[in-house]
Amino acid sequence: MLRHVPLPSHPDARGAARAAICAEDLGAKDGYVDALFTTQDLSEAGCEDLAAQRGVDRDAFRRCVHSPLVDERMDRDIAAYRSADGDGVPLVFVGAHRIDGAQPRSVFEAALDDAIAGAQ
């Protein structure tokens, strides 16, 4: 599950996080969050266009991004991040492994291997 923790220093981060939450809730297909990281347009209209391209109903998306429930979800995500002593993004947990920042694939593979071995 993704947690959305917009960087305060990024002017479009909170809007993009709101859009990501809504796209996820409304069943967007084909890597919506990845598209947000590569697009040049993080405006509300740009985020809506990306969602529509992935099968999300525009009217439902508009209602969602303006819902106070989205802010509540983001506030819970931020609280969870802070309680985990997050100090950068990305912050990923794989089983008991904490992975801070951008890491090579091998780090994630080792964490997954350990988690699978522990589950067996």
pLDDT tens digits along 88-113 = 778 889 988 999 888 999 999 999 99
What per-residue confidence (pLDDT) applies to 89? Answer: 78
Residues 21-38 have pLDDT tens digits of 999 999 998 899 999 999
- Residue 97's H or E segment, with its range, is strand 97-100
Range of the domain at 17: 1-86
Do 22 and 75 sit in the same domain of this protein? yes
Which pairing describes strands 91-94 and 97-100: parallel, antiparallel, or unpaired? antiparallel
Do 70 and 111 sit in the same domain of this protein? no
Tokens encoding 37: 């990281």
What per-residue confidence (pLDDT) applies to 88? Answer: 78
Do 17 and 45 sit in the same domain of this protein? yes
Instruction: Go through the chain and tell me how many residues it has.
Output: 120
Do 29 and 54 sit in the same domain of this protein? yes
Question: Which residues share a beta bridge with 98?
Answer: 93
| Number of structural domains the chain divides into | 2
Tokens encoding 111: 């964490």
Task: Name residues whose C-beta falls within 8 Å of residue 103's C-beta, 6 or more positions apart in sequence.
Answer: none
What per-residue confidence (pLDDT) applies to 42? Answer: 96
Residue whose token pair is 């990281």: 37
What per-residue confidence (pLDDT) applies to 86? Answer: 87
Q: What is the mean pLDDT of residues 62-71?
A: 97
What per-residue confidence (pLDDT) applies to 29? Answer: 84
Taking the mean position of all CA atoms in its chain, how far away is CA 116? 24
- Average pLDDT along the chain: 93
